[in-house]
């Protein structure tokens, strides 16, 4: 079986945008199962000739907002547990927010290798966020623009030794 890479992080950082870019088609293999798995999408990814299974977490609906933190934590932890590598994505433009720090705490106990990714890093607007992200405890982030396809080689280089 292919190695599995889970994309995790708080809502709106760009996880699904990266998923779609890696899988190369929109809404690949949407899972209609009820419950937690409903929010999980999986697809076969290719990154510069390296093949892996990629898992996109979340996709929260408005009616679930009240229970969002609990569900997000369960889903994030399950995805990380099942994955060979977790991409922990933050938003370089927004900078580090308390929920990012909370997720970082959840991740500290895991054996799964974590690759920190600072997305939305196109242009200069992300510089402060990249520096803030270094304080999360997962080293220097891979700077990425999932939307514009920047940082793909750096992402490849970060993943290659781990899968
Ligand atoms: P998710 O909730 O983490 O899955 O985030 P989405 O993939 O749904 O993206 C949230 C928003 O961020 C959308 O409006 C995207 O268009 C935007 N976005 C995603 N990647 C980038 C990026 O690299 N740069 C910028 N500027 N915006 C992005
Ligand atoms: Mg999403």
Q: What is the pLDDT of residues 120-162, one digit of tens each?
A: 999 999 999 999 999 999 999 999 999 999 999 999 999 999 9
Task: Give the nearest ligand 1 atom to 89 CA.
Answer: 3
Mutate to test the pocket of ligand 1, among 8, 14, 127, 130 (most ligand atoms within 8 A of CB): 14
**What was the ipTM of the complex prediction?**
0.99
- Torsion angles phi and psi, residue 149, rounded to 5: 75, 30
Distance CA 56, CA 149 (A): 17
Distance CA 86, CA 94 (A): 21
5-34 mean pLDDT: 77
- Considering the entire predicted model, what is its pTM? 0.90
**Domains of the chain: residue spans and CATH:** 4-162 (3.40.50.300)
CA of 83 to the centre of ligand 1 (A): 22
Pocket of ligand 1 (CB under 6 A): 9, 11-17, 119-120, 122, 145-148
Q: Is 77 a residue whose pLDDT tops 50?
A: yes
Edge-to-edge order in the sheet of strand 41-47: 41-47, 50-56, 4-8, 85-91, 114-119, 142-143
């Amino acid at each position: 079986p292919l190695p599995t890479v889970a994309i995790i992080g708080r809502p709106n950082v760009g996880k699904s945008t990266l998923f779609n870019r890696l899988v190369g088609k929109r809404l690949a293999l949407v899972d209609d199962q009820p419950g937690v798995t409903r929010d999980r999408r999986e697809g076969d990814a290719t990154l510069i000739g390296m093949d892996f299974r990629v898992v996109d977490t979340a996709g929260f609906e408005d009616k679930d907002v009240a229970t969002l933190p609990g569900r997000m934590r369960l889903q994030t932890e399950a995805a990380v547990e099942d994955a060979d590598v977790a991409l922990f994505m933050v938003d370089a433009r927004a900078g580090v927010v308390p929920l990012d720090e909370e997720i970082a705490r959840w991740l500290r106990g895991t054996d799964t290798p974590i690759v920190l990714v600072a997305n939305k890093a196109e242009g200069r607007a992300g510089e402060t966020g990249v520096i803030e992200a270094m304080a999360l405890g997962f080293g220097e982030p891979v700077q990425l623009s999932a939307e514009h396809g920047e940082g793909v080689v750096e992402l490849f280089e970060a993943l290659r030794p781990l899968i």
